Amino acid sequence: MMNEKQVHEMVIEANNTPEVLERILRVIRHRGFRISTINSVQMNDCNNIKITVTVSSERPIDLLYKQLDKLFDVSKLSYQQSTAI
Amino acid sequence: MKATEFIVNALRKQGVTQVFGYPGGAIMPLYDALYDGGVSHLLARHEQGAVMAALGYARAGERVGVCIATSGPGATNIVTGLAEAMADSIPLVAFTGQVPSALIGVDTFQEVDILGMTLSCTKHSFLVEDQNDLDRIIAEAFTIATTGRPGPVLIDIPKDIQLAEMAVETVSELPVLPALDGLVEAQVTAARALLHAAKKPILYVGGGVGMADAVPELRELAAALEIPIVSTLKGIGSPDPEHPYYLGMLGMHGLKAANLAVQESDLLIAVGARFDDRVTGKLDEFAPHAKIIHLDIDACEHNKLRVANVAISTDLKLILPALKMTLDIAPWRLHTLEMKVETAFRYDHPGIAIYAPLLLKQLSASLPEDHFVACDVGQHQMWTAQHMTFTQPENLLSSAGFGTMGFGLPAAVGAALARPDAMPVVVTGDGSIMMNIQELATINRAKLPVKIVLIDNQRLGMVRQWQTLFFDGRLSQTILDDNPDFVALAAACGIPGEAIVVKEQVQPAIDRMLASSGAYFLHVQISEQENVWPLVPPGVNNGEMLEQ
């Protein structure tokens, strides 16, 4: 399951609830990923936010992708594979 | 109409007839609405008892459990139940009272950030900010709790919101849920090809089968394939125990034939199971020769611990029938059958002292067809899984993924309300029962005919066993030879009972217990030396079991 450490940039669109950042950050931490950069902006309709986050881990990114995708508040999710560090 | 009246109406609209809880300051408005709201409420004696009862109700009755607690300590007392529901995928909607909106965040009396605290043990959660959101929130909560992989949802409601007037008084119609994805032909073809090519295939059945209501489909598939089957703790009851190649539970305390067969297999078909560490033992040596077909509604389980050759996340009721075929595996069938016979448990235990495995086998044979057994956690739980026979998954209520001591007694309370015609049985230990002993009073209050079998070794037996085997016999904090007089304790709660100490007392005592009209407490004294066998020690593969 463990590989060499990889860096990935994820883009997450989610409902703009007060706790949505906590939800997402908790999943990233608990599933074994470290955040190196994060940016969160409210989208034009105010009902959604867009989070761009760079994460790293030895674990496959697909495990985190599926866990975040399962969150009720997350509406759209994508990631770009980056290089090993 | 006040918001709390609306909530009760919304519960009725969801088909909820029974809730479990414990009142307190910040939830008083909702309790006022429950007073004559047309939904039955069972008062537990601790919020953990209430949430565990809701979980037992959900699991035994295959519906949503609902529990209610007040803010602060009431809310924190249900956290273990939420985590239990998360680990064992039990549909639960929990309502908590919260301090008034304006007082959130200023360290008010009985205030805790329960939403923040439970982010890690809920499938989703809501803090209600506007009473007019309740219609949407309650509908979403029940949908989230019950769809996909079931789980717990928390709705935290400030007291001022509970007391507020609704703009719209009518509960919306229930949402029509979209159908699950259908089968993908390429996946089915790939799975069938693996199955067709396998010489030593085995079905590895988990709790997902019962939750998907796919027991008939599983049994039809197993019969068509004439294939060996093993089960997880939560899968017990899903395979037909009469299936000739059913080998029983696998894993740390699995049956020898089950573990050996999985280690030898060349194809493992995981059905609603998730490669839990108590199942796999040393992960990289688990079923080392097997290709994997992984069927699970939750795609997060695919490739999490074991890479699958074919992974399918759809309704088991669809995929299981699609795998039917005739297999050419006669030598494998014969081999597993021989292992099953050669490694079968023996019950010719010497001496007069009561042997728990034999007692549980006798209990199992004595129960009426319609029954359930709620377990606690520890040695008695493993003995129950090994030595009792279950014909439906909802007949064994065991805290599997979370291993919550104290689950059994309250779970039986809830299950008894869900299945009033079933014989309600608790099998517990002297450690576990004390964790929620206060629910004896609930059993008495609700006049539930729960038959409680306490297997007492005056030890925290499972920990004691590990201390004996792996910690040089240093029995640190596991000796309970100062236990209370349990029969007297039960009697104080209005529950009659008796204590037995030798084998020949067992069957007559079981008969008296089952013939009694109400609750009954059977205290069973066993030797403190008894261990659960087999045992896969930590760090080795499942083929290297320790045995008696």
Range of the domain at B479: 356-525
Q: pLDDT value at position B177?
A: 86
CATH of domain A6-84: 3.30.70.260
Residues B540 and B535: their CA atoms lie apart, in Å, by 11
Domain check: are B130 and B276 in the same one?
no
Of B120, B299, B300, the CB nearest to A26: B120
State phi, psi for B273 to the nearest 5 degrees: -135, 160
Residues in chain B closer than 8 A to A72 (CB atoms): 123-124, 140, 144
Domain count across chain B: 3
CATH number, domain with residue B422: 3.40.50.970
Beta carbons of A63 and B127 less than 8 Å apart: no
Check whether B431 has a pLDDT greater than 90.
Answer: yes
Residues B448 and B17: their CA atoms lie apart, in Å, by 17
Residue of A nearest to B284 (CA): A1
Residues B358 and A17: their CA atoms lie apart, in Å, by 55
pLDDT confidence band for B536 (50 / 70 / 90): very high
Residue of A nearest to B113 (CA): A19
Digit-coded pLDDT (tens) for A24-78? 999 999 999 999 999 999 998 889 999 999 999 999 999 999 999 999 999 999 9
Within-domain flag for B351: no
Mean pLDDT value across residues B78-103: 98
* DSSP code for A47: S
Mean pLDDT value across residues B75-102: 98
Name the active-site residue from B1, B13, B28, B110. B110
Work out the end-to-end distance of chain A between its first and last CA atoms, rounded to an integer number of angstroms. Answer: 17
Buried b (16+ CB within 10 A) or exposed e, B65-90: bbbbbbbbebbbbbbbbbbbbbbbbb
What is the per-residue DSSP string for B37-54?
A: SS-EEEE-SSHHHHHHHH
Residues in chain B closer than 8 A to A62 (CB atoms): 303
The dihedral sign for the CA sequence B20, B23, B27, B32:
positive
Within-domain flag for B427: yes
Residue B199's CB is within 10 A of a number of other CB atoms, namely 12
B462 is catalytic: yes
Domain check: are B478 and B454 in the same one?
yes
B159 is catalytic: yes
* DSSP code for B539: T
Counts of helices then strands in chain B (DSSP H, E)? 22, 18
Within-domain flag for B9: yes
Beta carbons of A60 and B116 less than 8 Å apart: no
Burial class (CB in 10 A: 0-12, 13-18, 19+), B513: buried
ipTM: 0.94
Of B119, B140, B302, the CB nearest to A23: B119
Domain check: are B244 and B368 in the same one?
no
Average pLDDT, chain B: 97
Domain check: are B114 and B41 in the same one?
yes
**Percentage with pLDDT > 70 across chain B:** 100
Distance of CA B490 to the CA centre of its chain: 25
Check whether B475 has a pLDDT greater than 80.
Answer: yes
Q: pLDDT value at position A82?
A: 74
Domain check: are B313 and B435 in the same one?
no
Task: Check if the beta carbon of residue B61 is closer than 8 Å to that of residue B418.
Answer: yes
Of A1, A60, A67, the CB nearest to B300: A67
Picking from B173, B164, B83, B82, the residue whose alpha carbon sits closest to that of residue B129 is: B164
Domain check: are B387 and B338 in the same one?
no
Domain check: are B416 and B328 in the same one?
no
Residues B93 and B78: their CA atoms lie apart, in Å, by 12
Residues A25 and B256: their CA atoms lie apart, in Å, by 43
Within-domain flag for B202: yes
Within-domain flag for B152: yes
Within-domain flag for B223: yes
Domain check: are B367 and B337 in the same one?
no
User: Nearest-CA distance from B307 to chain A in Å?
Assistant: 8
Residues A42 and B117: their CA atoms lie apart, in Å, by 25
Residue of A nearest to B119 (CA): A23
Q: pLDDT value at position A47?
A: 93
Looking at B163, B198, B230, the residue that finishes a domain is B163
pTM over 0.90: yes
Domain check: are B294 and B250 in the same one?
yes
Digit-coded pLDDT (tens) for B216-268? 999 999 999 999 999 999 999 999 999 999 999 999 999 999 999 999 999 99
Of B123, B127, B300, the CB nearest to A66: B300
Digit-coded pLDDT (tens) for B310-336? 999 999 999 999 999 999 999 999 999
Q: pLDDT value at position B15?
A: 97
Mean pLDDT value across residues B503-516: 98
Residues B419 and B413: their CA atoms lie apart, in Å, by 10
B300 to chain A, any CB pair closer than 8 A? The answer is yes
Residue of A nearest to B304 (CA): A63
Q: pLDDT value at position A1?
A: 52
Burial class (CB in 10 A: 0-12, 13-18, 19+), B63: middle
Digit-coded pLDDT (tens) for B153-179? 999 999 999 999 999 999 999 988 888
* DSSP code for B535: B
Cis geometry, peptide bond prior to residue B534 (ω within 30 degrees of 0):
yes
Domain check: are B158 and B10 in the same one?
yes
User: Which residues are paired to B373 by β-bridges?
Assistant: B396, B425
Beta carbons of A63 and B304 less than 8 Å apart: yes
Domain check: are B149 and B191 in the same one?
no
* DSSP code for A81: E
Domain check: are B321 and B435 in the same one?
no
Q: pLDDT value at position B416?
A: 98
Phi-psi region for residue B63, left (φ > 0), alpha (ψ -120 to 50) or beta?
Answer: beta
Residues B195 and B202: their CA atoms lie apart, in Å, by 10
Within-domain flag for B533: no
Task: Check if the beta carbon of residue B208 is closer than 8 Å to that of residue B271.
Answer: yes
B526 by DSSP, 3-state: which? strand
Q: pLDDT value at position A2?
A: 59
Mean pLDDT value across residues B116-139: 98
Q: Per this entry, what is the length of chain B?
A: 548
CATH number, domain with residue B269: 3.40.50.1220
